[in-house]
Amino acid sequence: MSYIFKTNIASKSNYGAERNPSKIKYIVIHFTANDGDTDEGNGNYFHNNTVKASAHYFVDSDSVTQSVPDNYVAWSVGGSKYADCASTGGGKLYGAVTNTNSLSIELCDDCKNGRIYPSEATIGNAIELTKSLMEKYNVSPEHVIRHFDVTGKRCPDYWCGTSAKNTLWLTDFWDKLAGSTAEDPTPVLREGDSGNAVERLQTRLNVWGSDLDVDGSFGPLTLEAVKKFQADSGLEVDGSVGPLTWTALLRDPVDVVFPDTVDHWATKEITELARMGIVHGLSNGLFNPDGAISRAEAAVMVRNAVKYITGK
Ligand SMILES: [Zn+2]
């Protein structure tokens, strides 16, 4: 798999009843309509808010979040048919495709640049996810469609409504459902490399505080960001992204500034260990730096350290 799979189930107020997965006949592609959003952000939003709408999956450059289980109905393609379908060509499958017989996938756009379009890596992940679901539920390519095809809604707007956009839907997404997508998600990367894996690298470096263009090209700025990340994470600073650097990059940054360690003599060490995932705060958000440690806590710390160093 070339993406990280996450699960963050939506509030029950946003989706429908359980269904037999044998009912799944269509896969519907959507966009979130945001310039600069992530699958994690959408997952949290639908988890925390009541919006009476939902999708099964959100996809971005480095990960996929499942928001509604496949065996539950998402509220994503309901509503009436748009009045302008005769002129736009939308809505041809109105009535045939329903919330009950479909799975919905939302594409995010995690590159905020004034234009809503998913990154190459996001499209690649969405294709890989779609293909795995096609296989799992025996869905043919002809049944992989756009929200636009159901109700006429301009969703995804960049892939529907004009002949140029309809062509882009085919060339950038639909035509690729047949090809192979086997790819090592975390290959060793060095300056001069390019492609989807470099986009994933740049996306993760940005999660950790860099401000790189996610252009899939490993140039001097990316190299500088890799070295800084390695130094900050206590890794060998060689500018080459191998298994240990990937493991550290794929962690989610934790808020490591514990309020009760700010002026402590060991602030630096505590912060570094927290960034490495070796020590954690207490459930109240504090660290209690001068507290006594139990045998169990010591065991967990040592285990985390071994895992950090060896990757196992
Ligand atoms: Zn939609």
38 CA distance to ligand 1 middle (Å): 16
Q: pTM for the complete prediction?
A: 0.60
Residues 6+ apart with CB under 8 A from 15: 54, 68, 72, 73, 74, 75
Residue 286 predicted with pLDDT over 70 = yes
Q: Nearest to residue 254, comparing CAs of 228, 293, 281?
A: 281
Q: What is the pLDDT of residue 274?
A: 84
Whether the link from the prior residue into 156 is cis, omega within 30° of 0, is yes
- Residues present in the chain in total: 312
The span from the CA of 239 to the CA of 305, in Å, is 22
- As a whole number, mean pLDDT of residues 68-87 equals 95
53-78 as b/e: b if 16+ CB within 10 A: ebbbbbbbbbbbbbbbeeebbbbbbe
132 CA distance to ligand 1 middle (Å): 21
Higher pLDDT, 69 or 86: 69
151 CA distance to ligand 1 middle (Å): 9
Residue 180 predicted with pLDDT over 50 = no
With contact defined as beta carbons under 8 Å apart, do 199 and 61 qualify? yes
pLDDT digits (tens, 9 = 90+) for 97-123: 999 999 999 999 999 999 999 999 999
With contact defined as beta carbons under 8 Å apart, do 219 and 195 qualify? no
- Count CA within 13 A, CB hemisphere, residue 277: 14
Q: Nearest to residue 198, comparing CAs of 186, 207, 182, 181?
A: 186
> Per-domain residue ranges for the chain?
4-177, 196-244, 259-310
Cβ of 147: how many Cβ atoms within 10 Å?
25
16 CA distance to ligand 1 middle (Å): 17
User: Averaging pLDDT over each range in 43-47, 194-198, 204-208, 273-277, which range is the top one?
Assistant: 43-47
Residues with CB under 5 A from ligand 1 (ion): 30, 147, 155
Q: Which CATH number fits domain 4-177: 3.40.80.10, 2.40.10.500, 2.60.40.10, 3.90.550.10?
A: 3.40.80.10
Beta strands of the chain (E only): which ranges? 4-7, 15-18, 26-31, 57-59, 63-66, 72-74, 102-107, 144-146
286 CA distance to ligand 1 middle (Å): 42
3-state DSSP call for residue 69? coil
Topology agreement, domain 4-177 and domain 196-244: no
Q: Which token pair is 19?
A: 């269904």
The span from the CA of 124 to the CA of 196, in Å, is 8
pLDDT digits (tens, 9 = 90+) for 27-75: 999 999 999 999 999 999 999 999 999 999 999 999 999 999 999 999 9
308 CA distance to ligand 1 middle (Å): 41
For domain 196-244, the CATH architecture is: Orthogonal Bundle (1.10)
Q: Which token pair is 173?
A: 């997404």
